[in-house]
Structures are given as C-alpha cells and as structure tokens.
Amino acid sequence: MQTERRLLSLVSLLCVFCAATAITSPAQTLTTLVTFDGNNGANPWAPLVQGSDGNFYGTTITGYGNPGGWLFKMTPSGNLTTLYNFCSQPNCADGDQPFAGLIEATDGNFYGTTAEGGASGNCTLRCGTIFKMTPQGTVTTLHSFDYTDGAYPFAGLLPATDGNLYGITSFGGTNGAGTIFRITLSGTLTTIYNFCSQPGCADGEYYFAAVNTSLVQATDGNLYGTTTGGGLDVSNCGSNGCGTVFKITLGGTFSTLYKFCSQSNCTDGYTPQAGLVQATDGNFYGTTTVGGANSVGTVFRISPSGTLTTLHSFNPSTDGYQSYATLLQATDGNLYGTTESGGLSNSGALFKVTPSGTLTTLHLFCSLPQCADGSRPYAGLIQATDGNLYGTTAFGGSFADGTVFRLSGPSPNPLQFVQVTPCRAVDTRPEKGGGGPIQGGSFQNFPISGAGTCPILTSAAAYSMNVSVVPNGDLGYLTVWPAGQPRPLVSTLNSLDGRIKANAAIIPAGTNGEISVYATNTTNVIVDVNGYFAPVSGSTLAFY
C-alpha cells in the first residue's frame, strides 16, 4: 500500500494573542476573531460546529509544547478556551492530529476523529481514533483503528437518523483502500463497506488525505459521499484514478453514481477532496480540486440519480482555486465555500455561487500586512444562529498559525409562500412504519422535502407545518428548530396531561433541508406539511 508519512511538520510556536480586524468587501464584512499562535493551538484545518450552548467548538492539528492537536471552545465574540491536548497519554494512545471537525450528537456530547495515534500499532504512526468529548472537555477514546478495520480517518463523523455515527477512513480495511464505518455512541464499530472491492477500484478509493470528505445523509435516508481516487483510471488523473460520487444505504449496499473525468479533457473535474451538501432543490453540490476548463477544479451539481452538471470552473487569474471544503447552503439559498489557493499571495478566497452557477468572490485572504486576516482556508463555512458565517484558516494571522473569522451574514432574500396538498413528512409510530418514538431528553433530525408522502419542495427556505405528538405519558415540551443549529430554549408544544396534541409552526430549513425535534419525555411525533417558503418568482406578496 501507499507509503505512510507524517503529513505536517511541526513548527516552533509562540504566545496567546487574539485580535479583531475588519475588512470590507462589496456586501459582506470579514472580522478576524482569533489568531492562533501556539499557546492556544495552531493550524485549524477543520470547520467549526456551533453547540447547543451557542458556543463554537473546533480542532487544531498542533499547538505549542504539545504537537498532538488541540480541542477548543470559542464564544461568538472570539474568547477562546483550550479544552484538551491530544498526545497527553504515552505513545499518543488518546489520539494524534485531529484534522476533522467535531459534531454534537443527540446526547449533548461532541464526537470526532484523530487521523493518527491510538492504542493500535499496526500503522507506522498508529491508525487513528474516534473520541467523545463532553462540553467541559473530558475526552474518552471510543475506538482505536488497527488497519484491518480502517486507518487514518481524516474525515469527520456524520450523526445519522438511526442514532449512530458514520464515517470514512482513508486507508486500511480489507483492500487497504479505506472503509465506511458505523459506530454507536457507546463505541461499537462496524465496517459496512471496504473500498476497492470492485476490479480496478472502480468503486473508488482514498489514496491520500481527504480531510473534508465527510458523508451526508440525504432526504431518502441514504448516505452520499465522494472518493478522491478510483473510478476511472486515465492518464490525466494518474494511476490512482479520478474519484467518484457514491451512495450507500445504512445497511451497506453501495452504488457508484459518477466517475470523474468522464468528459473529454476532464472538463467535469476530478479528485474531489470535499464532501457533498444536499440543497433545498434535492440535488447535491460539491467541488473538485483538479480538472475543469482551467485544470484547477470545479463546482458541480449532481442529481440523486447521478446526472452531473459542471456549474463553474475555477480560474486562477480571476478567483480562487482548489476548493477542499464542503459547500454550505445559506439562508439566502446560495452556496458558500472556500478555496485553498489563488487570490492575493496565493492564499485562498471565500466565494458565493448560485445554484445556477454564478460565482462571486467575497474575500481574498492575505489582504492585510503579514496575512493578518489569515491564509489557506482548507475548511468550509458554517452559518450560525446569528445569521453570520464562521470559518478557519490553517495558516496566516499575526503568528502564521491560523485564524478563526466571521463573515457577516448574507442579506435575507424575499420569499413567497407556496401552498401544497397537505402531506405527511414524519411519523415515528412503529405501526405506521416509523422508527419509534423520540426518547426523552434527546433529539432527532428529520428530512422534510421529499420525505414520506411529501414531494420535493423546490428551494424551500422554511416549512409551514402541523406538529403533533402522541406521548407515552406526560410531555413537558417539544421543540422543533432548523437542523444543524443550536437548540433554542423555547417550546413548540407540550402535553402535560399526556394526551395527543398538535400545534402549527413555521420552521426554517436546516442542514440538508432537515429539521430537528427535541422532546423532554418519550413521545411519537407526526409532522404534516401544508406549504413552504421559497424565493420570489411571481408572487406580489413577499416575506422576509
């Protein structure tokens, strides 16, 4: 298999420093919230996650005096607290190099991966771990990879609707080409697929670090993702292949949807090193790092059935290029992302692209002396509850060790109400084919567009719905909110006497168009949809 090597040299690091610097772009303002300098961590390669407490949580891959990587918490104003230093145990048994970001699971804890370290010694640098962290910073190793079940998990985890976490390893497994795995919150790991199981690795493989290729669960309940290698083996891509888009069921049934470089001169791009996002139109959007009309990567759209359309070919002379970040669909309906290269001093850029493919560069990094605004944003963006976008740069800042920044949120677009024939998107009752009630003190995410008896709700920004509960007893309260955002401390409805109750609600579409539902006590939930809000097309009544 491929030669294993250390992925990043460790550097000498300095002291804590935080600064706020504003740079004006045509419509949105970038503010540097944190400058890393070693004492507070260094080199964040992963996106942030906003916890249910409203704070942001993230990772750095190194730090002063402890090169194993750090976990941190940051307030929205930029006050940073270091929570945990990896490699704190002998031989880095607790993990090393957390390239991926964190996710918050239904139990309120955060989960993530380290690309190296762990208890297993079947890899030169040990094979990596999966860990759990409490909001206070207590870390527990849930699993150490040993190559037979995968190795070097550079990508992050996905919390799926079955309550388990799913992820990808870049190496190891039966064929040494990486795996897809499922792990319970208590730490039981199951390999559900081994890459390179088809002749010539036509199903894909991970032949080098694919930091941001996390899986996404679509409205059909299946998982979708990309591989950096495999698929077609053509001279343009090298002997490791061009990469693929795939679908896999929660049970492990695998399908290749698209093989990159299927078009002449690879105008469709190849080597996708970022995951996919399912937009409100039901399609998936992503990027490639190579290929396209200018050979430096593309933005593409692909349907659930595998029809791919190239929306934009990056141009090194006019915008950034080589995007390693999963795109974000913001509340204005547009997609936002980062490029690692291009722009000023080849330091990367922030961009916006419409679903039809019109790209606008929002910020070129290294706009300040000594790149004080940051450089090399490998990670994608998140949209927080305040409407602003937050992200990280791996390098730059006053001490060249990376930054955390805020980009002022996009202006809200006017929306029109679209009425639909009432349809049932969610019914958790087992006798109705559901997966069972939401357990008390936990939440679940549910797709709405295309789910149940509902059609695809094109470009839905919010849903008009009727939420019903069928409690097992007294229900303190139920909260419904956009998936991927912190749970608000409000009640959508309650049933203190344990009877069936219902209430109307308008809920914005969250990550992948989903909603989150939290219950204080165990209850079945039914969600019926009677309409949705979408960008204005012809209505004279517009909502903001």
Q: Which residue has the higher pLDDT, 369 or 465?
A: 465
Instruction: Report the pLDDT value the prediction gives residue 13, as an integer from 0 to 100.
Output: 23
Residue 18 predicted with pLDDT over 60: no
d(CA 387, CA 381): 12
Q: Which residues pair with 24 in a beta bridge?
A: 29
Instruction: Report the pLDDT value the prediction gives residue 483, as an integer from 0 to 100.
Output: 86
Q: What is the 3-state secondary structure (H, E, C) of 25-81?
A: CCCCEEEEEEECCEECEECCCCCCEECCCCCEEEEECECCCCCCCEEEEECCCCCEE
Residue 516 pLDDT class (50, 70, 90 cuts): very high
d(CA 277, CA 284): 5
The answer to whether 458 and 537 are in contact (CB under 8 A) is no
The values of phi and psi at residue 199, to 5°, are -55, 135
Instruction: Report the pLDDT value the prediction gives residue 539, as an integer from 0 to 100.
Output: 61
d(CA 333, CA 344): 28
Instruction: Report the pLDDT value the prediction gives residue 275, as an integer from 0 to 100.
Output: 93
d(CA 341, CA 113): 26
The values of phi and psi at residue 371, to 5°, are 55, 40
Q: Which residues contact 369 (CB under 8 A, 6 or more apart)?
A: none
Averaged pLDDT, 6-20 = 28
Instruction: Report the pLDDT value the prediction gives residue 27, as an integer from 0 to 100.
Output: 57
Averaged pLDDT, 60-73 = 90
Closest CA to 258 of 273, 244, 270: 244
Instruction: Report the pLDDT value the prediction gives residue 540, as an integer from 0 to 100.
Output: 64
Instruction: Report the pLDDT value the prediction gives residue 239, as an integer from 0 to 100.
Output: 66
Measured distance between the N- and C-terminal CA atoms of the chain, rounded to whole angstroms: 55
Instruction: Report the pLDDT value the prediction gives residue 298, as an integer from 0 to 100.
Output: 97
Residue 475 pLDDT class (50, 70, 90 cuts): very high
Instruction: Report the pLDDT value the prediction gives residue 81, as an integer from 0 to 100.
Output: 97
Residue 179 predicted with pLDDT over 50: yes
Residue 185 predicted with pLDDT over 90: yes
d(CA 178, CA 166): 14
Residue 100 predicted with pLDDT over 80: yes
Residue 485 predicted with pLDDT over 90: no
Instruction: Report the pLDDT value the prediction gives residue 212, as an integer from 0 to 100.
Output: 61
Residue 218 pLDDT class (50, 70, 90 cuts): confident
Residue 372 predicted with pLDDT over 60: yes
Instruction: Report the pLDDT value the prediction gives residue 10, as an integer from 0 to 100.
Output: 26
- DSSP string for residues in 388-413: -EEEEESB-STTSS-EEEEEPPPPPP
d(CA 137, CA 120): 24
425-452 tens-digit pLDDT: 999 999 999 999 999 988 899 999 999 9
Residue 123 pLDDT class (50, 70, 90 cuts): confident
DSSP 8-state symbol, 241: B
Residue 1 pLDDT class (50, 70, 90 cuts): very low
Averaged pLDDT, 148-175 = 92
d(CA 193, CA 105): 23
pTM of the model: 0.82
Instruction: Report the pLDDT value the prediction gives residue 17, as an integer from 0 to 100.
Output: 29
d(CA 44, CA 141): 21
Residue 251 pLDDT class (50, 70, 90 cuts): very high
Q: Which residues contact 235 (CB under 8 A, 6 or more apart)?
A: none
Q: Across all residues in the chain, what is the average pLDDT?
A: 88
Percent pLDDT > 90 in the chain is 70
The pair of structure tokens assigned to 536 is 């204005």
271-304 tens-digit pLDDT: 999 999 998 888 999 999 999 999 999 999 999 9
d(CA 124, CA 116): 9
d(CA 534, CA 369): 42
Which residues in 17-30 are b (16+ Cβ under 10 Å) and which e?
Answer: bbeebebebeebeb
By DSSP bridging, strand 298-302 and strand 308-313 are: antiparallel
Q: Which residue has the higher pLDDT, 112 or 6?
A: 112
Closest CA to 544 of 398, 353, 348, 413: 413
DSSP 8-state symbol, 345: G
Q: Which residues contact 404 (CB under 8 A, 6 or more apart)?
A: 32, 33, 34, 36, 44, 48, 56, 58, 74, 78, 80, 390, 391, 392
By DSSP bridging, strand 56-60 and strand 389-393 are: unpaired
Residue 25 pLDDT class (50, 70, 90 cuts): very low
Closest CA to 362 of 320, 302, 411, 307: 320
Residue 134 pLDDT class (50, 70, 90 cuts): very high
Averaged pLDDT, 168-191 = 94
List the single range of 3-17, 51-65, 199-213, 386-400 with lowest mean pLDDT.
3-17
Alpha helices (H) along 48-136: none
Averaged pLDDT, 469-480 = 95
Residue 144 predicted with pLDDT over 60: yes
Instruction: Report the pLDDT value the prediction gives residue 161, as an integer from 0 to 100.
Output: 81
